[in-house]
Structure 1
Amino acid sequence: MTIFILSVSEHIHSTQRIYKEARRRGHTVEIINHLKCSIKLGGDKPAIMYQSENIIDIPDVIIPRIGVSAMKHGAAVVKEFEMNGVYSTASSAGIINAQNKVRTLQIISRNKLPIPQTVFSVDPENVSEQIDLLESVPIIIKLQEGTHGSGVILAESKKSAMSIIDTMYSTNTSILLQEFIKESNSEDIRAFVVGDKVISSMKRKGLEDDFRSNIHKGGNGCKEALTSEEKEIAIKAAQYLKLPIAGVDLIRSKRGPLLIEVNSTPGLQGIETYTKDNIAKAIVKFLEEHVRTKL
């Protein structure tokens, strides 16, 4: 099997983990910087160029590792591979959907999966009414595009929320408002979905004085068993967003599990460290099975 990993650097931990596991299992693997890919359209045949050379040998599968800053171009490169019949562990549509929190929540809500109460708007004239729609404070204010816990603010009062929201609207910043789930206790659950299974899951706990649970912000994690309901939510969320491989983030509330985010490029370092699960190997085995069934 020939695998292309689309990544801006071969030195990124998750990229290296997948590369080494795929090589260990005897596959041909190349790390392709999608920012150095050009797409030529028109003429006799479309072409994907890499570092000024036409990519002639189309791989069996691609594994996109595409972050927010390179999302639009990266998704276009993935789309071109898809149109050439190449299987992707994250569809181009899924990458675009998952990178925008509002779009993610719209799709999830439409498919009846549970989420926190959420409001998004660009109208600066009814900020008070927007906050009232959430029925209580504190509230969470999030950038619509952000990662690793960046761009997430807790507003303790309606007055502080209005001030923050006014400022963000004045700079044309796209945000969403969410209810604060106090009983989650600065904890969330990362479910790692591969195909139709949750292959690993961990609980993440934020620092003592930080409501965010993200490990990149100094939190920690531990292996955590999921309920059957939590597994079902995670698997369905990945499927609705067209992401064969995804990191799905949940919180536990008095109303039951709530989905807060889906990541199309979930990192491996934290979850492999805390759970001791070999996720990179599971990803490669999943791709092997996919290619086998297509023969």
Structure 2
Amino acid sequence: MKQGIIVTNITQTSPRFRKQVDSFLFATNRLKNFKLTEVKASNVIKYLEVNKDIDFCLFWDKDIYLARLIEEKGIKTYNSSRAIALCDDKGLTYQALKTYKVKTPNTFVFSLTYNENINQYLDEIMPSLVLLGFPLVIKERFGSFGEQVYLVNDVEELKQLLTKVGDRPLLAQTYIDYEKGVDYRVYVINGKAVLAVKRENKDDFRSNVNQGGVMSEVFLDKKMEEVATKAAKATQCVYAGVDLIKDEAGNYLVLEVNSNARTINAYEASGFDVAYHYLKFINEDNDFKEFARNIKYNIKDLFKRKG
């Protein structure tokens, strides 16, 4: 019997989140000799002190420190703390993709200002932003569901936005308007693209479902698959939802890599159960034993390139 835990954050209580977690728990009924127990992040260390026979952790949170603590107990996490860190910080994601020569929109990562507003230093960074060209997409480096993504059309709009968010870690990207309000998410499991969906929002440049986007299944072509699997490898994800956008030349560019990409909307749009196939991979992955024997890597390895 392979026994694991799914770690969830105590603050995530929405019905949609509950449905996502339940989809994993229900999927275990289709697997033999496989058990998955939900444990809240606030209680997981105490739980592991009592339950010594846990083989793996499906880490459905973004607390890198906690994921690292679990790994140090010899328990393999899916995804690893390393992968979560690379995906959670969009600045690190960009660096990882750049290292692997994965194409993205032209990007500028703002310098950290340690709680001071970057607006007062705007003259110094403006030449880099001008090279990207307006309109610009401004993203907070830490955020989800498109809620911290903004479109600015000119310098005045940029200044107004930075007045509100300029003390936060940010990056800027060239706005790709070939397919307005459209992007593609490719689900990758263990280096293989398993599903592609299109997200379209006719009322917003952000295609996220949480922002009103509508998801539908699309054909997974070879170009899409190649870019998505390379992005997952660059960010060291065994599981990822890779968000792509198409430019006017027909190239796919990577917008983001999601280490905890939700599967519910994809299932409703396609009928393909990504959650089940993710768990199936975990059940068949015997590397967790090797991981427990060789838990030697140091925290300094967190952002090392792998493979």
Q: TM-score, normalised by structure 1?
A: 0.86
Confirm or deny: 8 A CA contact 2:181 2:206 kept in the other structure. yes
Confirm or deny: 8 A CA contact 1:63 1:89 kept in the other structure. yes
Confirm or deny: 8 A CA contact 1:5 1:31 kept in the other structure. yes
Deviation at residue 292 of structure 1 after TM alignment: 8.7
Q: In structure 2, what residue type is equivalent to 1:163?
A: Q
State the partner residue of 1:285: 280
State the partner residue of 1:29: 36
Deviation at residue 280 of structure 1 after TM alignment: 1.7
State the partner residue of 1:150: 147
CA distance in 1, matches of 2:192, 2:50: 33
1:193 and 2:188 matched: yes
State the partner residue of 1:204: 199
CA distance in 2, matches of 1:142, 1:116: 13
Give SS of 1:12's match.
Answer: helix
State the partner residue of 2:266: 271
CA distance in 2, matches of 1:166, 1:138: 18
1:140 and 2:137 matched: yes
User: May I ask how many residue pairs the two structures share in their alignment?
Assistant: 273
State the partner residue of 2:239: 245
Give SS of 2:275's match.
Answer: helix
Give SS of 1:162's match.
Answer: helix
Give SS of 1:133's match.
Answer: helix
Deviation at residue 158 of structure 1 after TM alignment: 2.8
CA distance in 1, matches of 2:205, 2:4: 39
Q: 1:209 to 1:104 in 2, by over 3 A?
A: same
Q: In structure 1, what residue type is equivalent to 2:232?
A: A
CA distance in 2, matches of 1:190, 1:116: 16
Deviation at residue 278 of structure 1 after TM alignment: 1.2
Q: In structure 2, what residue type is equivalent to 1:284?
A: L
Confirm or deny: 8 A CA contact 1:101 1:144 kept in the other structure. yes
State the partner residue of 1:261: 256
Confirm or deny: 8 A CA contact 1:119 1:133 kept in the other structure. no
Deviation sequence 1:145-204 (CA, Å, 0-9, x none): 1110101111122322233235433xx111111101010221001111111211111000
CA distance in 2, matches of 1:240, 1:133: 26
1:233 and 2:240 matched: no
CA distance in 1, matches of 2:287, 2:125: 54
1:180 and 2:187 matched: no
Q: Equivalent of 2:26, from 20, 24, 29?
A: 20
Q: 1:63 to 1:162 in 2, by over 3 A?
A: same
Matches within 5 A, 1:11-90: 12-26=18-32, 27-37=34-44, 48-50=45-47, 54-66=49-61, 71=62, 74-90=63-79
Identity level (%): 23
RMSD: 2.1
1:223 and 2:246 matched: no
Deviation sequence 1:16-67 (CA, Å, 0-9, x none): 1011111342422210111223xxxxxxxxxx323xx72332422211111x
Q: In structure 2, what residue type is equivalent to 1:4?
A: I
CA distance in 2, matches of 1:234, 1:211: 22
Q: 1:6 to 1:138 in 2, by over 3 A?
A: same
1:94 and 2:95 matched: no
Confirm or deny: 8 A CA contact 1:14 1:268 kept in the other structure. yes
CA distance in 2, matches of 1:90, 1:34: 15
Q: In structure 2, what residue type is equivalent to 1:291?
A: N
Deviation at residue 294 of structure 1 after TM alignment: 6.1
Deviation at residue 6 of structure 1 after TM alignment: 0.8
Confirm or deny: 8 A CA contact 1:104 1:261 kept in the other structure. yes
CA distance in 2, matches of 1:213, 1:143: 17
Q: In structure 1, what residue type is equivalent to 2:5?
A: F
Give SS of 1:35's match.
Answer: helix
Deviation at residue 121 of structure 1 after TM alignment: 1.8
